[in-house]
Amino acid sequence: MAAVRTRGEVIRHRLSVTAVLVILLITLAPIFWITATAFKPRNLATTMPPTVFFEPEISPFVKLFTKRSQLREPPTEEVYNAAPWWEKTVFDGGEKVVRSGRGEVQPSGYPSRFLNSLIVAITSTVLAVSMGTITAYGFSRFKVKGEDDWLFFILSTRMLPPVVVAIPMFLMYRAVGLNDTHLGLIILYTAFNLSFSVWLMKGFIDEIPKEYEDAALVDGYTRMQAFFKIVLPEAATGIAATAVFCFITAWNEYAFALIMTNRRAQTAPPFIPSQVGSGLPDWTVIAAGTFLFLLPVAIFTFLLRNHLLRGMSFGAIRK
């Protein structure tokens, strides 16, 4: 924009900045609220009027990772004093940590779901990005008959509604025993991300001058060596950005996970909402689980900030 000049323009400019700040507040308020709830004592989580100022606690996170039961009577002083600091926070909330016969702390359902999410998201990302990169190179550098049609076909698989694909996949997985397995989810997420990865990587590889490889080929490199030693390093930023996008998509996915898994391979997105279920949910624990689940995505969003436009438009808009 041109430099601000007249008084009217100054006022308009200030009003716009104020409006942007108000919208920023509205945008961040729900995220702030879930984060705040994750650090509240249980009795302050669902008050009316809502509690904004409070002394942050770590107890929701302790409760998030452990299996607990309601205390009928307060623990004896001896038991309380012998407990480690984190267990005390659970006692303070009127609950106790469930231990096995040998005194081992029993975990809640959360850690295994979190781990499943990591396994599935990381593996499917590696597969989708490596296959996507070589396919993008193939489309970028060689003549392919009906190239546009193939690329259209590839992207259209990404647009299929998950529930539509899930019905036959569920039946096929049931027939071969892939329901509720990591492998089953990994295959689905790889397929889902593959088309995205091809489109995005094609944009990045198209930008690498062909002359680099041609020079290498003249110098006696084989095509494979040129690909691995010249193209891949040049495409590193693009590969990283694509990988982060694929990871976030797989990490966030809900519908397939809901339908295809129920316990062993269940990921965090279907698990976290299922905690609300019946009775009086402990919102501090749900918020703590949500906070930990959203944190990696928030960090990645900052790392990705210069590639968001490109990623969200499948590489079509580069700026």
Return the residues of window 7-26 that contact other proteins according to CB under 8 A: 13, 16-17, 19-20, 23-24, 26
Question: Using the rule CB under 8 A, is 108 a contact of other proteins?
Answer: no
* 49 preceded by a cis bond (ω within 30 of 0): yes
Q: Is the dihedral of CA 20, 291, 118, 157 positive or negative?
A: negative
User: Which class for 86: exposed (0-12), middle (13-18), buried (19 or more C-beta within 10 A)?
Assistant: middle
Where in 55-94 is the site for other proteins (CB under 8 A)? none
Please identify, among the stretches 55-63, 87-95, 103-111, 186-194, the one whose residues bind other proteins according to the rule CB under 8 A: 186-194
d(CA 28, CA 17): 16
Q: Look at strands 95-97 and 68-70 and give their pairing.
A: antiparallel
Question: Using the rule CB under 8 A, is 286 a contact of other proteins?
Answer: yes
Where in 247-266 is the site for other proteins (CB under 8 A)? 248, 251-255, 259
Which amino acid does the sequence have at 79? V
Where in 196-255 is the site for other proteins (CB under 8 A)? 198, 222-224, 227, 248, 251-255
Question: Which of 31, 82, 183, 215: binder of other proteins (CB under 8 A)?
Answer: 31
- The residues, ordered by sequence, that sit 6+ positions from 152 with a Cβ below 8 Å of its Cβ are none
The nearest distance, CB 185 to other proteins, in angstroms, is 12
Binding mask 142-171 toward other proteins (x if CB under 8 A, else -) reads: x-x---x-x-xxxxxx-xxxxxxxxxxxxx
d(CA 243, CA 133): 10
List the end-to-end C-alpha distance of the chain, in Å, as a whole number.
17
Between 71 and 207, name the residue whose CB sits nearer to other proteins.
207
Between 43 and 106, name the residue whose CB sits nearer to other proteins.
43
Q: Where are the beta strands (DSSP E) in 41-185?
A: 68-70, 95-97
Please identify, among the stretches 68-76, 80-88, 231-239, 269-277, the one whose residues bind other proteins according to the rule CB under 8 A: 269-277
Between 59 and 140, name the residue whose CB sits nearer to other proteins.
140
